[in-house]
Amino acid sequence: MPLYDYRCDACGLFEAARSVAARDDAVSCPICTEPALRVTMVAPRLGNRSTDDVMNEADKGRYGMRHVSCCSCCC
């Protein structure tokens, strides 16, 4: 299972292994057991892509993930 980052308001950041389907659900903080929400970070856009170009047809269903180089599983 992949690791995702979560933030507890009282204790700070921590990682939790979650399924892709449950990644956006709140998870209990391992220190205080309060519910914590997932932290999402967005990389800056580079190049000439417009803000309207959100996702093309080939990217649908990939959860926005792609390897750095164009490999056989991504291209």
DSSP characters over the chain? --EEEEEETTTEEEEEE--TTTTTS-EE-TTT--EEEEP---PPP-SS--TT----GGGTTTTT---SS--TTT-
pLDDT(34) > 90: yes
Across residues 23-38, what is the average pLDDT? Answer: 95
Residue position matching structure tokens 């659900």: 25
The answer, yes or no, to whether residue 75 has pLDDT greater than 90, is: no
pLDDT at 71: 61
Structure tokens at 66: 């792609």
- Predicted confidence (pLDDT) at residue 43 exceeds the cutoff of 80: no
> Amino acid identity of 21?
A
Q: If you average pLDDT over every residue of the chain, what do you get?
A: 77
Q: What is the pLDDT of residue 68?
A: 59
Over range 22-35, report the average pLDDT: 95
